[in-house]
Amino acid sequence: MQRQVVFSGKFFPKDALKNPYKLFPFEVPGGAKGVEITYLHDEGNIIDLGLFDPRGCEFLTPTGFRGWSGSARKRVFVSENWATPGYLPGPIYRGIWHVLLGLYKISRHGCGYRVEVHIFTEESPIEEVVDFLDHPASLPQGVPQKPRSGWLKGDLHCHTHHSDAHGNVFDIAVAAGHKGLDFLAITDHNTVSHWDEIFSFNYERPILLPGEEITTYKGHANVWGTGRWLDFRCTSREDMRRVYEVANREERIFSINHPKPGGPPWEFGLEIPFECLEVWHGMWHLGNETSLRKWKDLLQKGQRIIAVGGSDTHPKALSTGKLSEWLGYPTTWIYVKKASPDGILDALKAGLVSISACPHGPLTAIAFEAEGERIEQGGASPCGRGILSVEVFNGKGLKLRLLSSRGVWKVTHVTGELWNVVFPLDLEKEGFIYAELRVPGPWPEGKGPLAGLTNPIWYEGFRDDKIRA
């Protein structure tokens, strides 16, 4: 047996401008076994779907969150023992639940909608979501040879069928393993339903990192590390600041994603606190020079924001049963003391990070030595003068550019596959220093495709008022 509740009407652009997140209450009786939601709306519009149970639906209240599917599914189901990917199984509480509709794109002519809620009072057959993928018995055995001890390579941004992609956590982990990636952060949109699969993953490689992509209508941000579900219903800079503060209290890492045209761009401004900026999102030619320029502007202000990359791959299932994906394009390299989720996140927070075009490299690393002390990228030195060392793996033929607060400091070419060079450096004069590798070609200086990037080494006393023209 089942009970049905129907919501219908028409939205207009003014409704989205007032508040794009609309809640529709419905009552679930005691003893209910499951809740199913189906919805439809006029073509040419985008309306997203989510669900809260009676434990709370207010902004930043995590307890009542039961799932989010955006516009990826028109039918979802939640029961005690199973839920549609993107949603959380658990008790079907008696009381007032809420359907959440997100008004992402509403045409000027308006958008008619209809939502049907079916409340099952006895067990109901469930059509589980299957992506019809091949499931290998195991991941590749062994760990790929590293160019040097401590550097792990991975991808900090990808999706599964828990949001708007195909394949479960195991499927995408297998794909990452076959590419030789050592770690993988899974950052499904506005949900944590994929975390149980991450925590049950019992292979040593790749190391899986739990994450959530906070996907708002004004920009996206990744948060890595364990904690509560983080609300995405941010309509103002203050809302996003409050979300950051929750993540910060839980010692998680907050990264602004793809701040570039078509990213979609970040509209909350760069004045809110954050640790990382995704300067390289997908293939380099897809507008990433804009993101890189924003990062460079922050460096000039003395803000020690960590540059990261992410493929943002949304795997698609092919008729062959395989996944189409672009994991590791770009690859983020992190120098770790311990190959574990905590070890990776600690090193990420310290800025021990480089980025390369793909899992094969090129990997670039820099260090500053002065008065018997060695400072790695991401760190700061109180010493003014010392020696800068640069190492490049698998970058022969590329152009190495060393940049500081004063602009381009040195330019040279990489002449070997395992290559290194040293330069005397007045770090106090330069303020900070970092390296990038560019593909040589007939374009203006500094405008060729990026192949590799390091994070800076800082002079400890650098501030924007110490920049010398």
Residue 194 forms part of a structural domain: yes
Q: What is the pLDDT of residue 443?
A: 86
Is the CB of residue 52 less than 8 Å from the CB of residue 117?
no
Question: How many domains does the chain divide into?
Answer: 3
Residue 125 forms part of a structural domain: no
Residue 128 forms part of a structural domain: no
Q: Do residues 371 and 317 both lie within one domain?
A: no
Q: What is the pLDDT of residue 127?
A: 57
Q: Do residues 77 and 175 both lie within one domain?
A: no
Q: Do residues 26 and 174 both lie within one domain?
A: no
Q: What is the pLDDT of residue 61?
A: 93
Q: Do residues 265 and 398 both lie within one domain?
A: no
Q: What is the pLDDT of residue 217?
A: 98
Residue 447 forms part of a structural domain: yes
Q: What is the pLDDT of residue 134?
A: 46
**Phi and psi at residue 15, to the nearest 5°:** -65, -40
Residue 131 forms part of a structural domain: no
Q: Do residues 347 and 463 both lie within one domain?
A: no
Is the CB of residue 454 less than 8 Å from the CB of residue 332?
no
417: CATH:
2.60.40
Q: Do residues 417 and 436 both lie within one domain?
A: yes
Domain end residue (candidates: 336, 360, 384): 360
262 φ/ψ sector (left φ>0, alpha ψ -120 to 50, else beta): left
Domain end residue (candidates: 338, 360, 382): 360
Rg for the chain, CA atoms, rounded: 24
Q: What are the residue ranges of helices labelled H in 311-382?
A: 341-350
Distance of CA 398 to the CA centre of its chain: 28
Block means of pLDDT (10 residues each) for the chain, 469 residues, are 90 97 97 96 98 98 97 96 97 98 98 97 63 47 47 97 96 94 97 97 92 98 98 98 98 98 96 97 96 98 97 93 93 95 96 98 97 96 97 97 97 96 98 97 88 98 57
**Using CA atoms, how far apart are residues 95 and 22, in angstroms rounded to an integer?**
19
pTM of the model: 0.94
Q: What is the pLDDT of residue 446?
A: 82
Q: Do residues 10 and 102 both lie within one domain?
A: yes
Beta bridge partners of 291: none
Q: Do residues 328 and 390 both lie within one domain?
A: no
Residue 191 forms part of a structural domain: yes
Q: Do residues 21 and 163 both lie within one domain?
A: no
Is the CB of residue 252 less than 8 Å from the CB of residue 414?
no
CB count in 10 Å sphere of residue 142: 8
Q: In what order do the strands lie in the sheet with 46-52?
A: 21-28, 95-105, 46-52, 65-70
Q: Do residues 203 and 326 both lie within one domain?
A: yes
- With CA atoms as reference, report the closest residue to 379 among 319, 434, 326, 426: 434
Residue 179 forms part of a structural domain: yes
Residue 162 forms part of a structural domain: yes
CB count in 10 Å sphere of residue 132: 9
340: CATH:
3.20.20.140
Q: What is the pLDDT of residue 320?
A: 84
Assigned token pair, 73? 């599914």
85: CATH:
2.60.120.380
**Using CA atoms, how far apart are residues 96 and 224, in angstroms rounded to an integer?**
32
Domain end residue (candidates: 328, 360, 392): 360
Structural domain including 291 reads 138-360
Q: Do residues 393 and 355 both lie within one domain?
A: no
For 299, residues 6+ apart whose C-beta sits below 8 A from its C-beta are 305, 405, 432, 434, 456
Only one residue has tokens 């800068």, namely 388
Buried/exposed code over 340-350 (b: 16+ C-beta within 10 A; e: otherwise): ebebbbbbbbb
Q: Do residues 258 and 334 both lie within one domain?
A: yes
